[in-house]
Amino acid sequence: MLTFSSLVCFLLILYSQTSEAKNSEDIRCKCICPPYKEIDGQIYNQNVSLKDCNCLHVVEPMPVEGKDVEAYCLRCECKYEERSSGTIKVTIIIYLSILGLLLLYMVYLTLLEPILKRRLFGHSQLIQSEDDVGDQQPFANAHDVLSRSRSRSNMLNKVEHAQQRWRRQVQEQRKSVFDRHVVLS
């Protein structure tokens, strides 16, 4: 729980620092200008305010001169874009934290848990019966292995009983269809 609370505090501090002042990379005006006469189409980006987001303030250097400036700018499409880098940072930190916890858990399951089981339960309880050898569950604890071998006989009895009941129903249906010529509805 200490790790979670320290993570939350860290995220709150990081978010408050990033939300206090807008970074110049968080806002931009993007103008997409298609080809015009002999000039190739280009994309222009500038860090300007919303009111200055137009072709005249963003397109630098202006590829045309004189009367063609207005015609060129009318063809350009300018959009004001804003993003929150603080939210992006917090999301990435949470994602990486969860990924790190899952990796630690995987290391625990693969390396530490078998060692701890051997120390706690000893080698005699971990020996599996012949029925359990085919199971590929390396992380099942010793209690589950022992209880599974006992419950397996009950499960086999239930399956066998259901199979016999199904066979009787199939025989009854065959008799009624072939001998009595009656179709079940």
Tens digits of per-residue pLDDT, 75-121? Answer: 999 999 888 888 899 999 999 999 999 999 998 888 887 787 777 76
Tokens for 114?
């078998």
CA atoms within 13 A on the CB side of 173: 9
Q: Which long-range contacts (CB under 8 A, 24 or more apart) does 57-60 make?
A: 57/29, 58/29, 58/30, 58/31, 59/31, 59/33
The pLDDT tens digits of the residues spanning 34-89 come to 998 888 889 999 888 889 899 998 998 888 888 888 889 999 999 998 888 888 99
Task: Kindly list the distances between the CA atom of residue 178 and the CA atoms of 105, 170, 171, 185, in Å, as whole numbers in the listed order.
Answer: 61, 12, 10, 15
Q: Hey, what amino acid is at 122?
A: G
Beta carbons of 26 and 85 less than 8 angstroms apart: yes
